[in-house]
Chains A and B, each alone.
Chain A
């Protein structure tokens, strides 16, 4: 288990005990975190799982892969340096306490 903290656009927070090995997207969707849709179930086809990773965790989470980078480029409304597709972030003990912020809108 690792704690993942989802921050809604209005600043409200929700902490979830995530199963190691699940993606951050799946964690959000299964638990009904508003703001993460995950329409393609983690297949890098929808970009509806866009999140902003908290600066402090950025190096631990790592950069997006090539395909993800393409998806972020065109698929999301407001890409920032901290943008990731949360279906590509696997929950791990090392990410315990991870804070991600959900964008205003998903495509």
Chain B
């Protein structure tokens, strides 16, 4: 019995995988099964335009129903795969999936695009009404509903999602406190000077930003949140608490199949898991650094979900190509547009261009003189130049890049011009 391709998880990675499978000429059935109650939609606006009320649910839709029908992609919503079974070795890659609706789906190609779930707080009061997480559209809608009557809002976690949320909430005139346990904001992703910049930027706009601050418990009355108590005894009043303390990749199904997992489903540069007939893509995976082929990185971004999904589709379609996309990401907070390209791991030198005080600058990361990455704030030209340099392997020497008045674009053109 042939069941075509089964893609488990219907979000950024899953949709792209299905579309790319068709683009690569895969002609069998494609089933995209997702646990969420609605067809696939975009996540990034959940902490931006959708949270601010300037985009509605319909506008988030990733593709139209007509598109899925036309490309013969069968989208099953509100259905969760609970068990997977792979056939013995002679029928490589094929098997069956059991869903929570009691259905059995047969497949002869399997892709895992199950993403990640928000890390939960394990503290007294964490389940009070008004304590919200932000991952799915219903979470964002819930936050919006609590927000309207709220006066004091505490955001636990000073990462991208926490800070974007804080910016939206502050823009609606609420009192906002951001509580971050680490010594600085967005510590996992950016250099200390960028953390400092964002701390100042949020403070300037009236948000109380506390780093090195740990939450002891959440207070409530009649089942509803009333405040957040820190370990130093401070009590922050709150009618809404938004928790953004990172995500945990979903590895349960992969573990069930005996696939290698290490803080995510381990895949190679072809998006193959430790059972090479099974592919995985997106937030649920860890992969070799796409720029160097070294180590293991986990990238939580829609460009990565889509890029890796394309690679996974190529592998399933028998046209393997390695994943070498330059990782990139963005974050919008107030009128500050942060654009990131590259992977900063192991940097030993920074070059700053522009002026942080004027909220327009960029930071280039180097290791032993080699360009690794950029963080650009309201500096799209620098961001684009570095992205191009990284993609083409064009060097941007430290001493030249440090001269702020020469556009990086010019350096790039000089470097790539024939001698």
Q: Are these two chains actual partners, yes or no?
A: yes
> Which A residues are within 8 Å of any B CB, using their own CB?
19, 21-22, 26, 29-32, 39-41, 43-47, 67, 70-71, 73-75
B67 x A32 contact (CB < 8 A) = yes
Residues of A close to B384: CB separation below 8 A = 47, 70-71, 73-75
Assembly CA distance A43 to B330 (angstroms): 8
20 pairs, A vs B, C-beta closer than 8 Å: A29-B62, A29-B63, A30-B62, A30-B63, A30-B67, A31-B63, A31-B64, A32-B70, A32-B71, A39-B306, A41-B302, A43-B332, A45-B330, A45-B339, A46-B303, A46-B328, A67-B337, A71-B380, A74-B385, A75-B384
Q: Does B354 contact A (CB under 8 A)?
A: no
Number of A-B contacts (CB under 8 A): 60
Q: Does B125 contact A (CB under 8 A)?
A: no
Indicate with 1 or 0, residue by residue over B76-113, a CB within 8 angstroms of chain A CB atoms: 00000000000000000000000000000000000000
Top-7 shortest CB links A-B: A74-B384, A45-B330, A32-B67, A70-B380, A70-B381, A30-B64, A41-B42
Assembly CA distance A40 to B287 (angstroms): 22
Assembly CA distance A41 to B46 (angstroms): 12
Dominant SS at the A interface?
A: loop
Residues of B close to A71: CB separation below 8 A = 380, 384
Residues of A close to B337: CB separation below 8 A = 44-45, 67
> Which B residues are within 8 Å of any A CB, using their own CB?
19, 42, 44-45, 58-59, 61-64, 66-67, 70-71, 302-303, 306, 328, 330, 332, 337, 339, 380-381, 384-385, 388, 409
CB distance from A40 to the nearest CB of B (A): 6
Residues of A close to B45: CB separation below 8 A = 41
Residue of A nearest to B59 (CB): A22
Assembly CA distance A37 to B66 (angstroms): 18
Known: A40-B330, A71-B380. 16 other contacts (CB 8 A): A19-B58, A29-B63, A30-B62, A30-B63, A31-B63, A32-B19, A40-B44, A40-B302, A40-B303, A41-B42, A41-B45, A43-B44, A45-B337, A45-B339, A67-B380, A74-B388
CB distance from B38 to the nearest CB of A (A): 14
Residues of A close to B67: CB separation below 8 A = 30-32
